[in-house]
Structure 1
Amino acid sequence: MSQEFPEVQGGGSLIIAWQAKNKHILVVGGGEVAAGRILHALNADAHVTVVCPAAGLTAEVAHRVAQGQVRHVDRAFAPQDLDTADMVLCAIDDPAASTRVWQLCQAKRIPANIADVPPECDFYFGSMHRDGPLQVMVSTNGNGPRLASLVRKKIAAALPANMGAAIENVGLLRRKLRETAPLVEEGPKRMKWMSGVCESWSLEDLVEMDERDMDALLAFYASGEIPPLKEIRAKAPGN
């Protein structure tokens, strides 16, 4: 009976996509590692505060400050910096100070990542591939960041170059479908129909699809049909 279900494999992480938009992320430090953390947070539309003496900022972090992309506190970390933080990313070359940040975050139940100290992390940063809305993360659970980078490069090389554009079009089609069939009870049918589109249309068709094609395709939703892109365009007015 137990063979019917997946086997539990302990020791992993719960990999999720955290919605950081408009959240307050505190970055402690301003070096090269901090610069990478800051970019990840900004890409997620978070509000970022960097606590670090100005002399410790790299050229990239100083640029973010000068452009107003992040808020800068020109001093070393202080406990009150946690008062408005939803998440803390610590990247300083001071083990004792890093551990103190970790302990304070634990006491306040604020999720934190202490760079290069896996035992003092609520979460890890993986190696990321980004193509528009597509994000692929590879994690080794803190065991081998360099290996994660190698795996990520192999995965990225195997993906079509236009995958991001196809996903953007599918997202727009999905939003249009919700407007066409907004009722909650339509949920299962919407999911099945969208799955059918993604499975029956080629990646090239999904990339090429424009809004006129989407509107024509949506006209078939009620019947459950999913005609090919060529057929939809052949039936379009003027063709």
Structure 2
Amino acid sequence: MTTETDATSLLAAFNCRDNIHLVIGTNPLAASRCGQSLKAGARPILIAPETAELHYGLAKRIEAGEVTWHKKEFHDNDLLTLGREEVDGVVDAVFVTSGPRDPLSSHISSLCKRNRIPVNVVDAPHLCTFSLLSTHTDGPLQIGVTTNGRGCKLASRIRRDVAASLPPNLGVACARLGQLRRRIQQEDRVALTGAASAQTQAETGSYDADDGDHEDADDSVDQSASFNRLVTEDDADAAKTRRIRWLSQVCEYWPLKRLAAISDEDVEAVLRSYPTPDAHDSALSHIAPASPSPHPSPLLSSSSASASPFSPSRPKCGLIILAGSGPGHPDLLTRATHKAIQSADLILADKLVPSAVLDLVPRRTQVRIARKFPGNADAAQEELHAAALAAARDQGQVVVRLKQGDPFLYGRGGEEVAYFRANGVPADRIVVLPGLTSALCAPLFAGVPATMRDVADQVLVCTGTGKKGRAPDPPGYRAARTAVFLMALHRIEGLVEELTSHVEREGHKDEERVLWPRDTPCAVVERASCPDQRVIRTTLGFVAQAIEAEGSRPPGLLIVGRACEALFTPEKGRMWTVEEGFRGLDVWEEVVLPA
């Protein structure tokens, strides 16, 4: 149970349009409260005697007609008579600006609490039912910070630092992406239900339950456990939500700097690349074509330079470098990959490559981000193939295919090498650079020793999803085995069922395979080595429930085996625990070197 000392606030954003806010006091804070109410679309009413000395800001707003001044002392029935008619005259919120030492503050607070009217008393958290955050506002984007009354002005400092770390124009991008979302919804409804039906839905706000975008509109929830769910060929509903799913993937994976730079031309290019679905077409019929347009979509590219001015003379065929970017933290790049990034003419990056790594790319270098999302992986892969061939084989450029982890470990690296060889790129013009794989780094950063004497003597790296979304054959249980599953969390329920029971394959069950006990320890590691790394520790019996409850923070993987509890002791009675954050590479900042 949460105690009084560790309880935090329920942060919320209220729609205050046309609300009545009662402001008690005439000091500078009262002027500020009136200004905040007006910005939120509310109508502030000031209660103060006619003889009170008004702050000049209040006087100005009253003179302009923005604030209504009731020239009198506060009376109890003001709370129940000065509000809107539709709520029987009850005011929507009360701001007391005279401080906790004024006996009236405590009295008003008690009255408000008794009548369930939100009340805020300055410098008196115990008298408040709500508090205001230190807020950064940029168009529709608002970021609020609170220390729950414990940090004095520290909240303002934190808010300023957070705001300063954001790229400029992010609020404009939020507005533009919101417009894109609404446009996609409207166009898709017209295509799937007809213009008349879509117009009726837009007017009434009544949409089908399977639109698939309701959760996307809720800022309070993380990505769902099915965020990266595969779209298979027999998924008849895929066409209905494909464009909204694509937009969600863009918002989740693309660097904030790139999102902040989105223009109206970018939006139009995206809509051309992803046509409106047709209710009579198959689920995957409108996936982007394999052959890219001669001019790549601006939404996929950054920087305008096509070749480095420092590049040496090129052979007829350039160079294609498949480079692993590691699990996420830029310090985990190999020196070879960093050199390749610095010398490239064109970088073709997977969507999972984090922004901290892309920030290392020189400004002169063109960057394209893969348009991969569930159901479009093959088409996006062919687009990258064609772009790499056009730049390296035809223009003699250095192309870096920047892939997360290691290129040859579930990264399609082998397939790409075979493709480039088959399409005229000499073998000596293809270079593969290894990368640290999350299959081994993520367990380490989660405090899971993949091997440890008397605990685990072998590591098995598996995929949770086979070609075209099919489930691969599950490995058998061995007490001294640590199994690491990549690309598995989007189908965790199916994977757990396959590991813990005999599954039927092509008409027969694998009766000889040793089943994994449901109480086998396991750990989910997401965004390994990134600042927002998260570890969920549980067992096979509860892992699907844990992911459903906690949401998804892709990319992530699943570790299964006794090693998950080698350095961790679970709390009795808890089905799972969650650990946030990563501090694995900055320890030397705390080391004081001798003079």
Give how far 1:175 is off: 1.4
Q: Which has the higher contact order (CA 8 A, sep 6+)?
A: 1
Query: TM-score scaled to structure 2, two decimals?
Result: 0.35
Identity of matched residues, %: 32
Give how far 1:225 is off: 4.7
What corresponds to 1:218 in structure 2? 271
Structure 1 distance, partners of 2:244, 2:152, is 36
User: 1:80 is matched by which residue type in structure 2?
Assistant: N
Contact 2:120 2:127 in 1 (8 A): yes
Structure 2 distance, partners of 1:231, 1:159, is 27
Which of 104, 111, 119 lines up with 2:111 in the alignment?
A: 104
User: 2:36 is matched by which residue type in structure 1?
Assistant: H
Structure 2 distance, partners of 1:30, 1:202, is 42
Contact 1:169 1:206 in 2 (8 A): no
SS at match of 2:95: strand
- Structure with a larger share of its residues in helix: 1
User: 1:81 is matched by which residue type in structure 2?
Assistant: D
Contact 2:134 2:155 in 1 (8 A): yes
What corresponds to 1:209 in structure 2? 263
Deviations along 1:85-111, whole A, 9 cap, x unmatched?
011111125520111111111121111
Q: Does 1:127 align with 2:143?
A: no
What corresponds to 1:13 in structure 2? 9
Which of 47, 53, 57 lines up with 1:56 in the alignment?
A: 53
What corresponds to 1:75 in structure 2? 72
Give how far 1:170 is off: 0.9
Deviations along 1:43-78, whole A, 9 cap, x unmatched?
111121111235332111111111111211112211
Which of 111, 117, 121 lines up with 2:124 in the alignment?
A: 117
Give how far 1:116 is off: 0.8
SS at match of 1:11: coil
Structure 2 distance, partners of 1:35, 1:136, is 22
Q: Which stretch of the first structure deviates more once superposed, 186-195 or 42-51? A: 186-195
Give how far 1:131 is off: 1.1
Q: 1:30 to 1:181 in 2, by over 3 A?
A: farther
Contact 1:139 1:145 in 2 (8 A): no
User: 2:74 is matched by which residue type in structure 1?
Assistant: F
Structure 2 distance, partners of 1:158, 1:201, is 13
Deviations along 1:148-183, whole A, 9 cap, x unmatched?
111111111111121111111111111111211235
Q: Which stretch of the first structure deviates more once superposed, 115-124 or 186-195? A: 186-195
Contact 2:31 2:57 in 1 (8 A): yes
Q: 1:112 to 1:214 in 2, by over 3 A?
A: same
SS at match of 1:195: helix
Give how far 1:213 is off: 4.6
- Structure 2 counterparts to residues 12-31 of structure 1, below 5 A: 12-31=8-27
Contact 1:165 1:207 in 2 (8 A): no
Contact 1:29 1:56 in 2 (8 A): no
How well do the aligned residues superpose, as a CA RMSD in angstroms?
Answer: 2.8
Structure 2 distance, partners of 1:194, 1:225, is 14
Structure 2 distance, partners of 1:160, 1:217, is 22
Q: Which stretch of the first structure deviates more once superposed, 9-18 or 183-192? A: 183-192
Structure 2 distance, partners of 1:149, 1:201, is 26
User: 2:22 is matched by which residue type in structure 1?
Assistant: L
Contact 1:127 1:145 in 2 (8 A): no
What corresponds to 2:93 in structure 1? 87
Give how far 1:27 is off: 1.0
Which of 168, 175, 181 lines up with 2:175 in the alignment?
A: 168
Larger radius of gyration: 2
Contact 2:184 2:244 in 1 (8 A): no
User: 2:132 is matched by which residue type in structure 1?
Assistant: F
Give how far 1:214 is off: 3.0
Q: What count of residue pairs does the alignment treat as equivalent?
A: 226
User: 2:138 is matched by which residue type in structure 1?
Assistant: D
Q: Which stretch of the first structure deviates more once superposed, 180-189 or 68-77? A: 180-189
Which of 136, 139, 154 lines up with 1:147 in the alignment?
A: 154
Structure 2 distance, partners of 1:31, 1:135, is 27
What corresponds to 1:192 in structure 2? 245
SS at match of 1:89: strand
User: 1:107 is matched by which residue type in structure 2?
Assistant: R
Contact 2:169 2:260 in 1 (8 A): no
What corresponds to 1:65 in structure 2? 62
Give how far 1:202 is off: 6.3
User: 2:119 is matched by which residue type in structure 1?
Assistant: A
- Structure 2 counterparts to residues 220-239 of structure 1, below 5 A: 220=274, 222=277, 223=286, 225=288, 231-232=296-297
Contact 1:128 1:137 in 2 (8 A): yes
What corresponds to 1:34 in structure 2? 30
User: 2:117 is matched by which residue type in structure 1?
Assistant: I
What corresponds to 2:459 in structure 1? none
SS at match of 1:166: helix
Deviations along 1:95-144, whole A, 9 cap, x unmatched?
20111111111121111111111100001112111111111111011112
SS at match of 1:196: helix
